[in-house]
């Protein structure tokens, strides 16, 4: 089932000018090879973008994330990123501000940042090939848990504490077709983990 692009939580967006311009440009720097590898892109037959990236801003849980439906763009800049200012996993609400509404998958990014203060950046990519190859081999979420839900937050925590996700920094999302997620202390580390998986040989 293609559930990309649907916001499952209650979203509160405060439109405003772009902030965190330098961080947005760093995201774009690492997004480029991910886009070229088609780990971020668009399901053309459905016209739905996929894949998103984020970077932590400060110590209070803020993060800058790609805006909703930007997956198809070959190049992004600060106008395509949204600052998530508050995320309540239990109440299923997300607040964001900036020139664009946050990605529909902001809730899952927030759940990953909540796992550890050492997690500084996150990549969520789609690849049918990598998904099939690594399903059940890398830490893998329960297929019954839908992406972007409060249950997914609990499932990621289980993988992080019990299934080695804290060491691998990369997981397969069984309940989200083609979906994988990687993280690291920096965007370079998060992106490199995903790109290494996709490298032939
Ligand atoms: Zn996805």
**Domain map of the chain by residue range?**
10-198
Q: What is the pLDDT of residue 1?
A: 42
Cα–ligand 1 centroid distance for 30 (angstroms): 18
Cα–ligand 1 centroid distance for 200 (angstroms): 22
> What string of pLDDT tens digits covers the 201 residues of the chain?
455 656 667 889 999 999 899 999 999 999 999 999 999 999 999 889 999 999 999 888 899 999 999 999 999 999 999 999 999 888 888 999 999 999 988 989 999 999 999 999 999 999 999 999 999 999 999 999 877 777 888 999 999 999 999 999 999 999 889 999 999 999 999 999 999 999 876
Cα–ligand 1 centroid distance for 87 (angstroms): 18
Q: What CATH topology corresponds to 10-198? A: L-fuculose-1-phosphate Aldolase (3.40.225)
H or E segment and range at residue 166: helix 165-168
- Sequence-distant (≥ 6) Cβ neighbours of residue 61 within 8 angstroms: 86, 87, 110, 113, 114
Tokens of 44: 């053309």
Which candidate, 76, 116, 83, places its Cα nearest to that of 99? 83
* Residue 91 CB-density burial (10 A; 0-12 exposed, 13-18 middle, 19+ buried): exposed
Which chain residues have CB less than 5 Å from ligand 1, an ion? Answer: 179
H or E segment and range at residue 197: helix 187-198
């Amino acid at each position: 089932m293609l559930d990309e692009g649907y916001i499952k939580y209650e979203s509160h967006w405060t439109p405003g000018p772009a902030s965190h311009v330098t961080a947005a440009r760093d995201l774009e720097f690492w997004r480029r090879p991910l886009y070229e590898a088609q780990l971020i892109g668009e399901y053309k037959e459905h016209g739905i973008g996929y894949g998103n990236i984020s970077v932590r801003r400060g110590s209070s849980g803020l993060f800058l994330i790609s805006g909703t439906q930007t997956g198809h763009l070959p190049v992004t800049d600060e106008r395509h990123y949204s600052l998530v200012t508050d995320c309540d996993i239990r109440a299923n609400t997300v607040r964001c501000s900036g020139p664009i509404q946050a990605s529909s998958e902001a809730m899952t990014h927030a759940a990953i940042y909540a796992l550890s203060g050492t997690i500084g950046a996150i990549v969520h990519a789609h690849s049918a090939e990598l998904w099939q190859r690594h399903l059940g081999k890398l830490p893998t979420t329960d297929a019954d848990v839908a992406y972007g839900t409060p249950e997914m937050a609990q499932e990621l925590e289980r993988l992080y504490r019990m299934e080695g996700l804290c060491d691998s920094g990369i997981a397969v999302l069984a309940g989200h077709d083609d979906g994988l997620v990687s993280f690291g202390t920096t965007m370079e580390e998060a992106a490199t983990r995903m790109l290494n998986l996709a490298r032939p040989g």
